[in-house]
């Protein structure tokens, strides 16, 4: 479930969000409540890049390449019309580490690096333990 996160200290993304055909995941203005106990420190917009599961990193990457190719011009326009402080493709993935696997390697193909680099978008991987959301009562 990869998302593209874009941030600005000075420009709201609300008008862009209302007029784009890029699938918007969320959009917040500075000072707007994100959750009941947290306010957004900046203007931010997130786009749905991939619906692939966290154990399908290769699928998320393939979707990200397709997403950037399809929406390249609109993303470039967004970055040209807003003062962007940061932008990142955020790939959530499950850790494959256990008592038998001590090293995890995930490959980002140069095609994605090139597209993201041209648009000045960073790439992050959030690696979660398999039991990360097992809450104890």
How far apart are alpha carbons 79 and 56 in whole angstroms? 29
- Reported pTM: 0.89
What pLDDT, on a 0 to 100 scale, did the predictor assign at position 135? 67
- 56-89: string of b/e by CB count within 10 Å (b at 16+)? bbeebbbbbbebbeebeeebeebbeebebeebbb
Residue 61 near residue 109, CB atoms below 8 Å: yes
What pLDDT, on a 0 to 100 scale, did the predictor assign at position 61? 97
pLDDT per residue of the chain (137 residues) written in tens, 0 to 9? 999 999 999 999 999 999 999 999 999 999 898 877 788 889 999 999 999 999 999 999 999 999 999 999 999 999 999 999 999 999 999 988 878 878 888 899 999 999 999 999 999 999 888 777 776 55
What pLDDT, on a 0 to 100 scale, did the predictor assign at position 36? 72
Residue 1 near residue 52, CB atoms below 8 Å: yes
What pLDDT, on a 0 to 100 scale, did the predictor assign at position 137? 53
Q: Looking at the DSSP assignment, which residues form a beta bridge with residue 126?
A: 92
Residue 41 near residue 29, CB atoms below 8 Å: no
How far apart are alpha carbons 91 and 55 in whole angstroms? 11
Residue with tokens 């962007």: 84
What pLDDT, on a 0 to 100 scale, did the predictor assign at position 47? 97
How far apart are alpha carbons 46 and 7 in whole angstroms? 9
């Amino acid at each position: 479930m990869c998302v593209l996160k874009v941030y600005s200290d000075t420009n709201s993304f609300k008008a862009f969000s209302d007029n784009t055909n890029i699938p918007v995941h969320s959009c917040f203005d500075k000072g707007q409540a994100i959750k009941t106990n947290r306010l957004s420190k900046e203007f931010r917009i997130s786009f749905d890049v991939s619906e692939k599961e966290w154990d399908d990193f290769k699928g998320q990457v393939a979707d990200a390449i397709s997403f950037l190719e399809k929406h390249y011009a609109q993303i470039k326009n967004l970055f040209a019309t807003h003062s962007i402080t940061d932008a990142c493709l955020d790939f959530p993935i499950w850790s494959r580490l256990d008592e038998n696997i001590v090293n995890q390697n995930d490959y980002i193909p140069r095609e994605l690096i090139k597209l993201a680099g041209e648009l000045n978008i960073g790439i992050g991987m959030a690696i979660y333990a398999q039991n990360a959301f097992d809450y104890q009562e």
